[in-house]
């Protein structure tokens, strides 16, 4: 399987970019000579140069360093949110499909209802209810993604439920939860991971959007959204802050999306072959 | 020459893949006479479908087709460009495909198919559009001929509303509407259950006698071939192994491969306890055996078989690609 | 006719979902921490002021009654007044004023997404091979990697600030001046539609290529049907259905983009209303906006369902 992965240029490209980004935000950030919060009124609003790759903002802070730290926060938020949604959603979807009947009906209807709201609107609504901040944004992203994972896990579990090895395990008396974990989960994991990869990317966009509006991560914590919000204030005078930080977001998310696409190409034909 | 509707000489087909060129059909010669049914028999992968599709130029873009001559009703198709060939397809040559369910446009009615097929031959059959509903009446008549009585309702239906057997008959009806001179039928009964298969065979038998088209009938089923074909060509690994009249080949097969085929199907008919199968498998295209391609599986293989074998004409008019037989040419 | 039955059934389903959604929104809103009276009047408001406020806004009535009153408000057009923003204007008035703008921008964006992707997807389907595949996949991936508000700013930078072809802020409503709306709405619509255009193009290309591999294409060619005929009636016609299904699924992401883009471009729509209300903790307005957005999504989904049903006989017969 690794060989298939290697031959897919999208997957490899995506992986390369993602790893690069991860390295940059973890190790690279620490290596930067600037501090993300260190203000300096002598270097306010400088355009990009070799000293400041992305220029400086209105407080004289190096934008590139801030972007690295901000990306760390954004990726953490999105990663945790999607991870939470993955666990919860898969559990909901799998159990609903396996146990069926009223539980299935009610739960999946609830998921459908959640899914009916536009993603960003749902997140925004939640922020109004529970307030702003890093943790709450994570919860909002999780809420947006739970129905997606639930529906995916549900439909796949339905397909797999009738397979021979599942019937055999059931006949042997394996308790349901263990059956779900041991037999079903490994076989539906792949598309879930694909969705997760793409989900983290979109989660960053949601976080960026919320923070950009001022309804997400609150300053002084840097996040990709708050940096772009800063950049928006003086966009006409110094467009580079917003532009460059946005480009950084594009680059990071491109890696994640390419990785997800590459994985999906790997997983899909397999699924089709399995179905026949 | 005038007795033959189709003459194929030295047909060679290969597929261009990323890293190699795979030869699929090599040096195939055969004739189809006016008003006869030529059966092409062979296992899956023997090249029979590819051979027939190449005549209609329906192979994918990476297929390389070469032939010395493909003489059809007065024209050499091998010398025709694609543009010159376009008008012939459907009008003079047509094909009935194996899987009826996937052959129809799922978002259009059966009537839509009939309408456009009729328009295709509007020039040759102007009576179809002489009055407003003429083509529809004709379609109903043709459907009745293939065993579908309620033609008017069927024309309004969509493919997913019909069974496989009915779709196969409807497909035959569509081809009949074209009134082609040569009909290529690619295993038209393989996907159908026994009762329907029997009905379709009876239909073809009736048609063979009524209309004046010739058939190129592909099958791997000996009993079907026995009921329908006048002459038979047995294909193996991209070459013709044996050719002769149907009766002769089925009762006195000469090539060891044909013997194996006839024997196994006879055994199935007799329900013996143990089927004596032909040992081995079709050779892989990338590693064909030297000389006679059947050699690894042949019980009669001997000295000389490792050299290229050509088709030999025997004294009783049979063509066999095997050195066991004397060539009288 | 079965099609009409289908449309009715689906419409009822959509309506039911909106109702249940409204209930859910209402209940969740009630569970929000904090007393709206205190939020509006401030922490140090006197108990009398708080009581008066609560009485004025019927905050002490039983839950079911409040919900039904609110629900009725959608039908009669009286949703109460905003708590804090817009000087306490009538909510239904606010929504009525702004809904055409949001709808216009949304439709404009869908028009771009679908129109451009039909073109690009068809053209891209012509070229096969690994290079084309990688290129199309990369462009699609790039599309969804872009935050749409960021793209909005980039567009403003080039087309409004540098080239001054289009205004960078403000929006003329479609009822005021259609031409003005088309002009001022162009950049916002482009910003929203860009990510989806990339995805839709790739989807169309994929479905087109899949359709060309199908048996019915070979059979159609064997009848002697010409290439253009086969493309139009077999390949394209069959590809359009899965394409529309994907469009329907992605719409909710597209509509989400409306919220921020309205803010960026200063479009007075439901999205910017919701954002303003969110800042001001104006719960009734947020509530109403959420339900309106739900209704918009359900309407779009219903339309997609109906279009699919009309185009695909398997769904209705």
pLDDT of B162 reads: 92
Q: How confident is the model at residue B76 (pLDDT cuts 50, 70, 90)?
A: confident
pLDDT of C30 reads: 78
Three-state SS for C191?
helix
For residue A124, tell me if it sits in a domain: yes
Inspect the interface and report whether the beta carbons of C138 and A10 lie closer than 8 Å.
Answer: yes
Whether B94 has a pLDDT exceeding 70, the answer reads yes
Instruction: Give the best residue of C84, C105, C149, C205 to mutate against chain A (max A CB count within 10 A).
Output: C149
pLDDT of B114 reads: 94
Q: How far is C258 from chain A (nearest CA, A)?
A: 9
Q: Which residues of C touch B (CB under 8 A)?
A: 214-216, 218-226, 229, 233-234, 237-238, 241, 311-314, 317
Burial of B127: CB neighbours in 10 Å, binned 0-12, 13-18, 19+: exposed
For chain A, helix (H) and strand (E) counts, in that order, are: 12, 0
Q: How far is B218 from chain C (nearest CA, A)?
A: 16
Inspect the interface and report whether the beta carbons of B174 and C221 lie closer than 8 Å.
Answer: no
Q: Any CB–CB contact under 8 A between C147 and chain A? A: yes
**All partners of chain A with 3 or more CB pairs under 8 angstroms:** C
| Rounded Cα gap, residues B317 and B315, in angstroms | 6
| Rounded Cα gap, residues B99 and B192, in angstroms | 9
pLDDT of A92 reads: 92
For the question of an ipTM over 0.90, the answer is no
For residue A222, tell me if it sits in a domain: yes
For residue A4, tell me if it sits in a domain: no
In chain C, what residues touch B178 (CB-CB under 8 Å)? Answer: 223-224
Domain count, chain A: 1
CATH number for the domain harbouring residue A157: 1.10.3720.10
In B, minimum Cα distance to C237 occurs at: B107
Q: In the predicted model, what is the mean pLDDT of residues B156-173?
A: 90
Whether C171 has a pLDDT exceeding 90, the answer reads no
CB-nearest to C145 from A228, A239, A253 is A253
pLDDT of A4 reads: 65
Q: In the predicted model, what is the mean pLDDT of residues C233-258?
A: 88
Q: How far is A171 from chain C (nearest CA, A)?
A: 38
* pLDDT > 90 in chain C, percent: 15
In C, minimum Cα distance to B56 occurs at: C222
Q: In the predicted model, what is the mean pLDDT of residues B138-145?
A: 90
Inspect the interface and report whether the beta carbons of A246 and C286 lie closer than 8 Å.
Answer: no
CATH level 3 topology of C101-279: MetI-like fold (1.10.3720)
pLDDT of A145 reads: 94
Domain residue extents for chain C: 1-85+284-317, 101-279
pLDDT of C39 reads: 61
CB contacts < 8 Å between A and C, how many? 140
Whether C112 has a pLDDT exceeding 60, the answer reads yes
**All partners of chain B with 3 or more CB pairs under 8 angstroms:** C
**Cis-peptide, bond into residue A220, ω within 30° of zero:** yes
The boundaries of the domain holding residue A186 are 62-275
pLDDT of A210 reads: 92
Instruction: Give the best residue of C224, C225, C230 to mutate against chain B (max B CB count within 10 A).
Output: C224
pLDDT of A272 reads: 45
For residue A112, tell me if it sits in a domain: yes
Inspect the interface and report whether the beta carbons of C222 and B107 lie closer than 8 Å.
Answer: no
For residue A172, tell me if it sits in a domain: yes
Q: How far is A232 from chain C (nearest CA, A)?
A: 8
| Rounded Cα gap, residues B264 and B276, in angstroms | 7
Distance of CA C187 to the CA centre of its chain: 17
As beta bridge partners, residue B28 has B11
| Rounded Cα gap, residues B246 and B248, in angstroms | 5
For residue A196, tell me if it sits in a domain: yes
For B300-309, C55-64, C132-141, C152-161, which range has the lowest pLDDT when averaged over its residues?
A: C55-64
**Mean pLDDT for chain B?**
85
In chain B, what residues touch C222 (CB-CB under 8 Å)? Answer: 56, 58, 89-90, 94-95, 97
Q: Is the dihedral of CA A132, A136, A138, A139 positive or negative?
A: negative
Q: How confident is the model at residue C36 (pLDDT cuts 50, 70, 90)?
A: low
Buried b (16+ CB within 10 A) or exposed e, C265-298: bebbbbbbbbbbbbebbbbbbbbbbbbbbbbbbb
Closest C-alpha to A89, from A110, A105, A117, A74: A110
DSSP state of B9: E
Between C77 and C305, the more confident residue is C305
In C, minimum Cα distance to A115 occurs at: C252
Q: In the predicted model, what is the mean pLDDT of residues C38-66?
A: 70
Tell me whether strands B239-245 and B312-313 are parallel, antiparallel or unpaired: unpaired
Inspect the interface and report whether the beta carbons of A202 and C253 lie closer than 8 Å.
Answer: yes
pLDDT of A273 reads: 41
pLDDT of C91 reads: 78
Inspect the interface and report whether the beta carbons of C256 and A258 lie closer than 8 Å.
Answer: no
Chain C segment 246-275 residues within 8 A of A by beta carbon are 252-253, 255-257, 259-260, 263-264, 274-275
Inspect the interface and report whether the beta carbons of B107 and C313 lie closer than 8 Å.
Answer: yes
Inspect the interface and report whether the beta carbons of C219 and B104 lie closer than 8 Å.
Answer: yes
CB-nearest to C278 from A10, A215, A252 is A215
Inspect the interface and report whether the beta carbons of B107 and C241 lie closer than 8 Å.
Answer: yes
Structure token digits, residue C220: 């159609």
For residue A5, tell me if it sits in a domain: no
Q: Any CB–CB contact under 8 A between C150 and chain A? A: yes
Q: Any CB–CB contact under 8 A between C138 and chain A? A: yes
In chain C, what residues touch A131 (CB-CB under 8 Å)? Answer: 33
From first to last of the 276 residues of chain A, give the pLDDT tens digit: 666 666 777 778 888 888 888 888 888 777 777 777 777 777 777 777 777 778 777 777 888 888 888 898 999 999 999 999 999 999 999 888 888 788 888 898 899 999 999 999 999 999 988 888 889 999 999 999 999 999 999 988 888 888 888 888 888 887 877 877 877 888 888 889 888 988 999 999 999 999 998 888 887 788 888 888 888 888 878 888 888 888 889 999 998 988 888 888 777 655 444 333
DSSP string for C56-115: HTTTTS-HHHHHHHHHHHHHHT---B-SSGGGG-BHHHHHHHHHHHHHHHHHHHHHHHHH
CB-nearest to C146 from A116, A117, A250 is A250
pLDDT of A214 reads: 87
Instruction: Give the best residue of C219, C226, C229, C236 to mutate against chain B (max B CB count within 10 A).
Output: C219
pLDDT of B308 reads: 79
Structure token digits, residue C188: 């916002």
- B163 neighbors B75 (Cβ within 8 angstroms): no
Tell me whether strands B75-76 and B319-320 are parallel, antiparallel or unpaired: unpaired
Whether C80 has a pLDDT exceeding 70, the answer reads no
């Amino acid at each position: 399987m690794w060989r298939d992965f290697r031959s897919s240029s999208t997957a490899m490209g995506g992986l390369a970019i993602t790893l690069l980004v991860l390295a940059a935000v973890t190790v690279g950030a620490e290596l930067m000579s600037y501090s993300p919060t260190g203000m300096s009124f002598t270097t306010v609003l400088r355009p990009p140069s070799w000293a400041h790759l992305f220029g400086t903002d209105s407080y004289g802070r190096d934008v590139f360093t801030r972007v690295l730290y901000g990306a760390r926060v954004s990726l953490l938020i999105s990663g945790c949110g999607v991870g939470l949604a993955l666990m919860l959603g898969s559990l909901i979807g799998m159990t609903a499909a396996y146990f069926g009947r009223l539980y299935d009906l009610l739960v999946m209807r609830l998921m459908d209802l959640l899914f009916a709201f536009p993603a960003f609107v749902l997140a925004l609504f939640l922020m109004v209810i529970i307030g702003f901040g890093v943790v709450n944004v994570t919860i909002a992203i999780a809420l947006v993604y739970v129905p997606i994972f639930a529906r995916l896990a549900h439909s796949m579990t339905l397909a797999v439920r009738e397979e021979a090895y599942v019937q055999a395990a059931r006949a042997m008396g394996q308790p349901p939860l263990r059956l779900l974990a041991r037999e079903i989960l490994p076989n539906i994991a792949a598309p879930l991971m694909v969705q997760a990869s793409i989900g983290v990317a979109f989660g960053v966009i949601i976080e960026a959007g919320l923070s950009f509006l001022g309804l997400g991560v609150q300053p002084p914590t840097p996040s990709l959204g708050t940096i772009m919000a800063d950049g928006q204030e003086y966009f006409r005078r110094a467009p580079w802050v917003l532009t460059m930080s946005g480009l950084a977001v594009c680059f990071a998310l491109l890696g994640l999306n390419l990785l997800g696409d590459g994985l999906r190409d790997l997983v899909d034909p397999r699924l089709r072959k399995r179905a026949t | 020459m005038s007795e033959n509707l189709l003459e194929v000489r030295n047909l060679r087909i290969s597929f261009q893949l990323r890293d190699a060129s795979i030869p699929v059909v090599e040096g195939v010669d055969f004739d189809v006479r006016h008003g006869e049914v030529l059966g092409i028999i062979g296992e899956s992968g023997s090249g029979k479908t590819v051979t027939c599709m190449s005549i209609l130029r329906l192979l994918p873009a990476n297929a390389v087709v070469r032939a010395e001559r493909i003489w059809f009703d007065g024209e050499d198709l091998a010398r025709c460009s694609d543009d010159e060939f376009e008008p012939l397809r459907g009008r003079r040559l047509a094909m009935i495909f194996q899987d009826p369910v996937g052959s129809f446009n799922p978002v259009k009615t059966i009537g839509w198919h009939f309408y456009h097929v009729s328009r295709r031959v509007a020039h040759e059959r102007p009576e179809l559009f002489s009055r407003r509903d003429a083509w529809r009446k004709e379609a109903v008549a043709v459907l009745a001929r293939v065993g579908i009585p309620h033609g008017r309702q069927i024309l309004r239906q969509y493919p997913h509303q019909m069974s496989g057997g009915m779709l196969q008959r409807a497909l035959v009806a569509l081809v009949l509407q074209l009134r082609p001179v040569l009909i290529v039928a690619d295993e038209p009964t393989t996907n159908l259950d026994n009762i329907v298969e029997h009905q379709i065979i009876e239909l073809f038998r009736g048609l063979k006698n009524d209309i004046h088209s010739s058939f190129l009938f592909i099958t791997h089923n000996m009993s079907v071939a026995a009921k329908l074909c006048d002459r038979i060509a047995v294909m193996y690994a991209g070459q013709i192994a044996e050719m002769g009249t149907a009766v002769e080949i089925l009762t006195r097969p000469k090539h060891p491969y044909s013997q194996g085929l006839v024997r196994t199907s006879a055994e199935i008919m007799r329900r013996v306890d143990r089927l004596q199968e032909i040992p081995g498998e079709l050779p892989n295209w990338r590693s064909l055996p030297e000389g006679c391609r059947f050699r690894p599986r042949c019980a009669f293989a001997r000295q000389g078989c490792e050299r290229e074998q050509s088709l030999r004409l025997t004294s009783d008019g049979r063509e066999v690609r095997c050195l066991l037989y004397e060539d009288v040419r | 006719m079965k099609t009409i039955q289908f449309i009715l059934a689906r419409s009822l389903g959509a309506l039911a979902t909106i109702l249940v959604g409204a209930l859910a929104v209402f209940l969740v809103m009630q569970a929000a921490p904090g007393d709206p009276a205190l939020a509006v009047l401030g922490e140090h408001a006197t108990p009398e002021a708080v009581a008066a406020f609560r009485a004025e806004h019927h905050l002490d009535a039983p839950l079911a009654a409040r919900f039904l009153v609110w629900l009725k408000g959608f039908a009669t057009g009286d949703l109460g007044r905003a708590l804090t923003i817009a000087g306490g204007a009538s909510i239904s008035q606010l929504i009525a004023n702004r809904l055409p703008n949001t709808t216009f921008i949304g439709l404009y964006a869908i028009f771009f997404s679908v129109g451009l992707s039909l073109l690009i997807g068809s053209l891209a389907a012509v070229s096969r091979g690994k290079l084309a595949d990688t290129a199309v996949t990369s462009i699609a991936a790039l599309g969804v990697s872009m935050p749409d508000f960021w793209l909005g700013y980039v567009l403003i930078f080039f087309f409004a600030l540098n080239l001054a072809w289009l205004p960078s802020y403000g929006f003329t409503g479609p009822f005021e001046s259609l031409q003005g709306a088309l002009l001022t709405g162009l950049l916002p619509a482009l910003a929203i539609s860009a990510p989806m255009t990339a995805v839709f193009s790739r989807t169309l290309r994929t479905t087109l290529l899949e359709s060309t591999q199908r048996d019915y294409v070979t059979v159609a060619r064997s009848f002697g049907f010409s290439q253009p005929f086969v493309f139009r009636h077999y390949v394209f016609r069959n590809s359009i259905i899965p394409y529309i299904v994907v469009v329907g699924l992605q719409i909710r992401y597209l509509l989400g983009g409306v919220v921020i883009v309205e803010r960026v471009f200063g479009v007075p729509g439901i999205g910017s209303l919701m954002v303003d209300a969110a800042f001001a903790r104006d719960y009734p307005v947020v509530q109403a906006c959420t339900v309106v957005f739900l209704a918009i999504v359900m309407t779009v989904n219903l339309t997609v369902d109906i279009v699919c049903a009309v185009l695909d006989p398997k769904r209705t017969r």
